[in-house]
């Protein structure tokens, strides 16, 4: 199952150099991840009711091409390694500019947390199955242009 989101870059996403500020890329990735869970029926209210939530251990972005205000970007969600029980996961995000060129790559490592016990937990298996059905992604490897 492929999952992506189109996002219009706002003026507020930009810095004094008139291009997208570094932290906005992370916001784009988070928006795509949360929309993925929401569209599967696991919105904030449902997760709160279940007393679980996704947490991040690590998030890393590689900046490849400049993005500017008023660009419309596409964020593609891809799976990385997932533990057998789905409790720990890696997700990758490819950020494409309006021409479809890869402009950034975000890799995240995270888990699910029981919000009452404040300990790691296992998510519902249907949610794990949906994450596992995402196309496979990998960590970004910089390729020097010739």
Q: Tell me the C-alpha distance between 35 and 43, whole Å.
A: 8
pLDDT score, position 146:
64
User: CA-to-CA distance for 76 and 135, rounded, in angstroms?
Assistant: 10
Please report, for the chain, the start and end positions of each structural domain, with discontinuous segments joined by +. Answer: 3-132
17: tokens are 């150099």
CATH topology of domain 3-132: Thiol Ester Dehydrase; Chain A (3.10.129)
146 residues of the chain, pLDDT tens digit each = 999 999 999 999 999 999 999 999 999 999 999 999 999 999 999 999 999 999 999 999 999 999 999 899 999 999 999 999 999 999 999 999 999 999 999 999 999 999 999 999 999 999 999 999 999 999 998 877 66
pLDDT value of position 143? 78
Instruction: Give the CB-side neighbour count of residue 89, counting CA atoms within 13 A.
Output: 28
Whether 76 and 93 have beta carbons less than 8 Å apart is answered as yes
């Amino acid at each position: 199952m492929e999952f992506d989101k189109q996002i219009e870059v706002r003026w507020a996403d930009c810095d004094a150099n008139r291009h997208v500020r570094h932290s906005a890329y992370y916001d784009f990735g988070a928006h795509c991840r949360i929309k993925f869970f929401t569209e599967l029926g696991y919105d904030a209210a449902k997760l709160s009711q279940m007393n679980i939530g996704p947490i991040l251990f690590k998030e890393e972005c590689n900046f490849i091409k400049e993005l500017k205000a008023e660009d419309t970007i596409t964020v593609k969600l891809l799976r990385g390694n997932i533990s057998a029980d789905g409790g720990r996961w890696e997700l990758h995000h490819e950020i494409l500019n309006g021409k479809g060129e890869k402009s950034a790559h975000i890799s995240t490592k995270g888990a699910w947390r029981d919000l009452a016990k404040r300990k790691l937990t296992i998510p519902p298996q249907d949610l794990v199955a949906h994450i596992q059905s995402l196309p496979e992604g990998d960590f970004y490897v910089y390729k020097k242009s010739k």
